[in-house]
């Protein structure tokens, strides 16, 4: 593709309008390609520590509006959060794109069946998480060992 852009300079030493236009178009495409990448990418553990996240989707299902599930990377090795019914806590570890959450412990209050179902799916997703990534919007994706997204969380106060 770049060979097509090699236009000999005219004797005046200036590029032709055609060559300038082609070079500008190529530069624009490269910039748009870099900016348009909305797919998640691995980050650093520092991107997580001290930040609170709110679940937006669990197993591809949107979470209930009135029942927020949260995840706070409280320190470099401890997570805490709310399931919308109970509080939970546990350990976490990151090695590149690999993540381990748990074992998890939680309080044992009973709530409405639909809230308990969401809680069960959320805690299960956290414990099954094997990889993590952040997207351009700052949302956190936790996926299983096969790459299937288990839960999408966004920064508290964000999306």
pLDDT tens profile 96-143: 999 999 999 999 999 999 999 999 999 999 999 999 999 988 899 999
What CATH number is given for 45-155 in this structure?
A: 2.40.128.270
The predicted pLDDT at position 146 comes to 97
Residue 20 binned pLDDT confidence (cut-offs 50, 70, 90):
very low
Residue 38 binned pLDDT confidence (cut-offs 50, 70, 90):
very low
Question: Is the pLDDT at 61 greater than 90, yes or no?
Answer: yes
User: What contacts 52, CB < 8 A, 6 or more positions away?
Assistant: 70, 71, 72, 81, 155, 156
User: Which class for 131: exposed (0-12), middle (13-18), buried (19 or more C-beta within 10 A)?
Assistant: buried
- Complete DSSP assignment for 103-130: EEEE------HHHHHHHHHHHHHHHH--
Q: Where are the domains of the chain?
A: 2-35, 45-155
Higher pLDDT, 98 or 4: 98
φ, ψ of residue 94 in degrees (nearest 5)? -125, 140
- Report d(CA 149, CA 147) in Å as an integer: 6
pLDDT tens digits along 73-88: 999 999 999 999 999 9
CA 52 to chain centre: 13
Name 78's bridge partners.
91
User: What contacts 77, CB < 8 A, 6 or more positions away?
Assistant: 91, 92, 93
């Amino acid at each position: 593709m770049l060979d097509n852009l090699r236009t000999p300079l005219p004797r005046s030493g200036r590029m032709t309008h055609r060559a300038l236009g082609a070079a500008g178009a190529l530069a624009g495409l490269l910039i748009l390609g870099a900016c348009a990448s909305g797919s998640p990418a691995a980050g650093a553990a520092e991107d997580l520590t001290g930040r609170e996240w709110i679940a937006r989707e669990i197993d591809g299902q949107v979470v209930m509006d009135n029942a927020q599930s949260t995840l706070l990377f409280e320190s470099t090795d401890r997570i805490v959060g709310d399931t919308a019914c109970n509080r939970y806590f546990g350990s976490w570890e990151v090695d590149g794109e690999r993540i381990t959450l748990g074992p998890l412990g939680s309080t044992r209050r009973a709530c409405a069946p639909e809230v308990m179902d969401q809680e069960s799916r959320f805690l299960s997703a956290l414990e099954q998480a094997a990889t993590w990534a952040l997207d351009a919007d700052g949302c956190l994706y936790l996926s299983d060992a096969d790459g299937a997204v288990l839960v999408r969380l966004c920064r508290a106060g964000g999306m």
